[in-house]
Structure 1
């Protein structure tokens, strides 16, 4: 049984875009590189051929991985959620720590997580602590640096 992979609309589109690029740009390019390396004769000591074959293996593996993830994707549009103020997958949460420092995170799928964009994985300690909580709740997050407390200031679905 295959499990569903939660993903935002934006995350699914990024995977589709990468898949399209791999199939329409990268794959034809590596096929051309293999053909060119083959035309040079002896393949037993042809580094260009070996490199192109290795690249082809990587591209084909990544295509299969993306196709699998997209086939199993459970695409969730945060804008259509009515979670009654609770923190759920796809929601954006504004937090304040004990020192008064505010930060905003969106809870996304594992493949979409990117701290530079303030997107945290649903399986991260902070997301697990926030799920099902509401504005005004105080949560404890067990992080590698120790336990941190955050107050939920705002929950939005965008």
Structure 2
């Protein structure tokens, strides 16, 4: 499996979720299965079926998180020295050439992407368009409404 790029904050978020699943969710579902099993006939026991299904989901998510963390390539944006170039982990300030609207995004891994937090996936069309460019360059992005152009105003590593 190839390395999965993650920022330090993104890796910590995954570790926190993994810890919560192992220490809170897993014991709770084991208790629910035990209680449902004590009710007797398992063939028509909806609580038992629901608890077993939830257990399957939790165990699957634990395996997924452990896999991602074991294959993670953790990148600290503060330690990057890319000479002002847009790279993974960088925060970029962009201006839409048509509307003049300015936006700021951090380029992060797929698991960390959250548009509300202004974090876009490294595999998104916008991130792919700006990676490798410098402040002052113009990036063309293929959007559903056609090609959009964004000028890169600033690149920071924070």
Could you say which TM-score interval applies, normalised by the shorter chain? over 0.9
Q: Give the deviation of 1:80 after TM superposition.
A: 0.1
Is 1:76 the equivalent of 2:78?
Answer: no
Q: Give the deviation of 1:73 after TM superposition.
A: 0.2
Provide the secondary structure at the position in 1 that maps to 2:152: strand
Aligned length: 157
Matches within 5 A, 1:81-120: 81-98=80-97, 99-120=99-120
Matches within 5 A, 1:1-158: 2-98=1-97, 99-158=99-158
**TM-score of the pair, normalised by structure 1:** 0.98
In the alignment, structure 2 segments of 5+ residues that lack a partner are none
Cα distance between partner residues in 2 of 1:143 and 1:7: 26
Cα distance between partner residues in 2 of 1:155 and 1:32: 50
Provide the secondary structure at the position in 2 that maps to 1:132: coil
Q: Give the deviation of 1:144 after TM superposition.
A: 1.9
Cα distance between partner residues in 1 of 2:143 and 2:7: 25
Cα distance between partner residues in 2 of 1:96 and 1:126: 12
Q: Give the deviation of 1:145 after TM superposition.
A: 2.4
Cα distance between partner residues in 2 of 1:114 and 1:147: 23
Output the aligned Cα RMSD.
0.5
Cα distance between partner residues in 1 of 2:148 and 2:114: 20
Cα distance between partner residues in 2 of 1:145 and 1:43: 55
**TM-score of the pair, normalised by structure 2:** 0.98
In the alignment, structure 1 segments of 5+ residues that lack a partner are none
